[in-house]
Chain A
Amino acid sequence: MGYPGRLIAVEGLDGSGKSTQIYLLKRWLQLQGLKVFFSEWNSSELVKSATSKGKKMELLTPSTFSLIHATDFADRYERQLLPLLKAGYIVLCDRYVFTAFARDVVRGCPLEWVRGIYDYACLPDLTFFFKAGLEVSLNRILDGRPQLKYFEAGMDLKLSSDPYESFRIFQGRILEQYLAMSTEFNFNVIDANQSIEPQQDIVRTLVSKKISLSKFRFVLK
């Protein structure tokens, strides 16, 4: 990557448990007194109002859906991720460019177009892919919320008028896309059907093997 910092990304389907895992990783790193920054997909304040308006009113097409998420990413990347990597931080990302590569392509955007839009972004030092069975993901999503959201279920693709059926087909296609790029981008595939602790154990082991953590302590001169 060429910057003093390190970039770690987690990817996976909705309900794969990746957010829990990256949260536990963040806590572990923070409690060691390391310079850590955490960033979430689709969280830039400025772009948020447009995104939520677009989603609520179902104004988004595959292209504008793709572009508005790319705008959100660019805002976070240029204002936070990149400067922090230059400043020697361990940057943790809950979803990264691969989310766009998978989702936008399933929505029908050309692969090269989507990849081209994100080509200024550096690739992570470590990418964890949490691979859960579709039923497991679906159950996890439904446990927390009573209903599936329109775009989350891929309802815009008119795969099925039943949100659950649509979600199943949509997530299945996204999973295919993820698996297809797994080798190309060196995903560390974690079996997300198992319980939280053994997964976190693998994550922490890999992180400490790949990154000399002691170099990322706060040193104030």
Chain B
Amino acid sequence: MKSSKISTAKIPPQTIQRNIVTPRRSKHRFYGHGLPGVDPDQLSGKLIVVEGADGSGRSTQIANLIEWLEATGHASIQVGLKRSSLVSEELNQAKKGNILSHTTLSLFYATDFVDQMENVILPSLKAGFMVLADRYIYTLMARDLVRGMDEKWLKNLYGMALKPDAVFYLNVSPENLVQRNFAKDYELDYWESGMDLGLSRDMFDSFLKYQGMVEEKFRSLQKTYKFTIVDGNRPPEKVNRELRKHIQSVVAGG
């Protein structure tokens, strides 16, 4: 390796990251039974989760965080729900037709989640990456809880999830979410409006009611899972500054 001989003469010294922080290794563990054949002690990277509704600014925040992490010398990767090669296609198809019952849809999502856990998240953590998860089990649980699924059943099911190093919940008021969704797509998503629940035939009303219910479930999950609630109603730069501060302390082992 000749990395030390790379010429840096033309680059102003202040922009070069000279003090790259080596993350303090933290002990990882699973929420419950965990996954067969996985030793959490081998996971040297950090798992950072950003939760929040559609329009809460998750993607923007994650994109910014990855840029910042890479600039500060950390290899980073983004993961999200419904992206597994195993079932994501079938899951999308099933959602379009709205033909699955709750337990089935829930297990389908769990399959997708575990597939990514085993094929992307765990190998990346093993390789020492910063893994930024765009949503995690909490979204899946909150959605299912709103639909009347048993909490104990869900906790057992998601006992195979790794406990993240940090979880941020971007809390945005339903009214702001509506505005942000309209500003982006001029329409509300069927599932994000909870239209399958029959709360209201009016999509706008249903969206407000449903998002309120999800937020309430997140607040009750917060008591168990202790995630950091971040006020997402503020401008994105302010939110990002707060997230960076938290992540810095996670990296430092705080």
- Which residues of A are in contact with B by a Cβ distance under 8 Å? 46-47, 49-50, 53-54, 59-64, 67-68, 70-71, 74-75, 77-79, 107-110, 112-113, 116-117, 119-120
Contact = CB atoms under 8 A, between A and B. Distances in A.
A116 B118 CA distance: 21
8 contacts: A50-B111, A53-B86, A67-B107, A68-B111, A74-B103, A79-B104, A108-B36, A108-B37
A54 B86 contact: yes
A74 B104 contact: yes
Interface in B149-175: 150, 152-153, 156-157, 159-160
B118 to A, nearest CB: 5
- Tell me what chain A mostly uses at the interface: helix, strand, loop, or mixed: helix
Contacts of B34: 110
Contacts of B32: 113
Interface stretch (B21-29, B93-101, B128-136, B189-197): B93-101
Given A62-B36, A113-B32, A117-B156, A75 B87 contact: no
A119 B153 CA distance: 8
A64 B118 contact: yes
A147 to B, nearest CB: 24
Contacts of A112: 33, 156
Contacts of B101: 74-75, 78-79
Nearest to A65: B111
Nearest to A116: B156
B36 A59 contact: no
A64 B111 contact: yes
Contacts, number: 93
B103 A46 contact: no
Interface in B69-122: 85-87, 89-90, 93-94, 99-104, 106-108, 110-111, 114-115, 118
B35 interface: yes
B160 A63 contact: yes
A177 B103 CA distance: 26
Contacts of A78: 101-104
- Tell me what chain B mostly uses at the interface: helix, strand, loop, or mixed: helix
Contacts of A79: 101, 104
Contact of B36 (A47, A109, A116, A119): A109
A117 B90 CA distance: 21
Contact of A120 (B36, B90, B103, B159): B103
Contacts of A71: 104, 107-108, 110-111
A-B complex: 6 closest residue pairs judged by Cβ atoms: A108-B36, A116-B156, A78-B101, A110-B33, A71-B107, A67-B111
A64 B107 contact: no
B30 to A, nearest CB: 10
A67 B103 contact: no
Contacts of B157: 113, 116-117
Nearest to B115: A64
Contacts of B104: 46-47, 71, 74-75, 78-79
B153 A113 contact: no
A116 B159 CA distance: 11
Contacts of A63: 35-36, 114, 118, 160
Nearest to B38: A63
A185 to B, nearest CB: 20
A61 B32 CA distance: 18
Given A78-B101, A107-B36, A50 B160 contact: no
A106 to B, nearest CB: 11
A62 B32 CA distance: 16
Given A50-B89, A117-B156, 12 more contacts: A46-B104, A64-B86, A64-B111, A64-B115, A68-B111, A71-B107, A71-B111, A78-B102, A116-B157, A117-B153, A117-B157, A119-B153
Contacts of A70: 107
B227 to A, nearest CB: 23
A113 B86 contact: no
